[in-house]
Homo-oligomer: A and B are copies of this chain.
Amino acid sequence: MTTLFKPIRPKKLSEEIVEQIKSLITDGQLKPGEKIPSEREMAALLGVSRPSVREAIMVLETMGLLESRQGGGTYVRSLTDGTLAPLAAMMEDNPELLKELLEVRMGMECWAAYLAATRATDAEIREIGDSVEEMARQAVRGGWSSEVDSRFHYAITTATHNTMQLHVLNTIHELFLATIEVALTKLYSQPQYIEVLLGQHRAIYEAIAARDGDRARRAMGEHLEWVQATLPRLS
């Protein structure tokens, strides 16, 4: 019952200013390239102090909606979809976070392999197998896409019959792909790695097909440790 009520926090002035300016931009009353009133003018119009206006403009700049130039004014930016979510952007700036996310993923994928081995339906085991066969088909032609690898892991997570697991792993996988899809595709097309990777995927599939949870977890762990060790060598 506690979830029905949420703490009420009064809005800061800067938040209200942000909302007003956002509305003017999304309504088209402030257009891309247009200059907004100066900080001093805005403060006078809104009946607030200049620091409060500055805080709101700072926030809108962070959102990518405005752009300030010292001495020159503040302009509305074009509404392009270029801004990455903050976490993905931070991961681009800091490869150590990516390595840590890989490790978080490892824990979750191993757990997923374990659960899948204990719960998968025959149809789900077939789908995992089919994705491995698709890898083998593309391997003959020089390597497989990161989509096929995603299909494999997605099928395993689906077989856990845990919706939350699927959502969390999907979110982590998207963050992951946003950063290293190019490197992964490179990995899946190197001749010296293809057979090793294919063998690892088969081992995972076979452990799940045998409904052996511990074996599935170990096989997944070995696969992901190998990937984690091999990716840095590609750069």
Contact = CB atoms under 8 A, between A and B. Distances in A.
Interface in A83-114: 83-87, 90, 92-94, 96-97, 100-101, 103-104, 106-108, 110-112
B58 A14 contact: yes
Contacts of A58: 14, 55, 58-59
A175 interface: yes
Interface stretch (A145-153, A162-170, A226-234): A162-170
Interface of A: 2-3, 9, 14, 22-23, 26-27, 51, 54-55, 58-59, 62-65, 69, 79-80, 82-87, 90, 92-94, 96-97, 100-101, 103-104, 106-108, 110-112, 115, 162-165, 167-168, 171-172, 175, 178-179, 181-182
16 contacts: A2-B182, A3-B178, A3-B179, A14-B58, A22-B90, A22-B93, A26-B94, A27-B96, A51-B54, A58-B59, A80-B87, A83-B85, A87-B164, A90-B164, A104-B164, A168-B172
Closest 5 CB pairs of A and B: A107-B111, A100-B164, A63-B86, A62-B62, A100-B162
Given A86-B63, A162-B104, A175-B83, A26 B111 contact: no
Contacts of A93: 22, 26
A162 B164 CA distance: 22
B163 A97 contact: yes
Q: How many copies does the complex hold?
A: 2
Contacts of A106: 111
Given A97-B163, A104-B164, A82 B87 contact: yes
Contact of A54 (B55, B108, B110, B172): B55
Contact of A59 (B3, B59, B84): B59
Contacts of A26: 90, 93-94, 96-97
Query: Which of A23, A55, A85, A164: most chain B Cβ within 10 A?
Result: A164
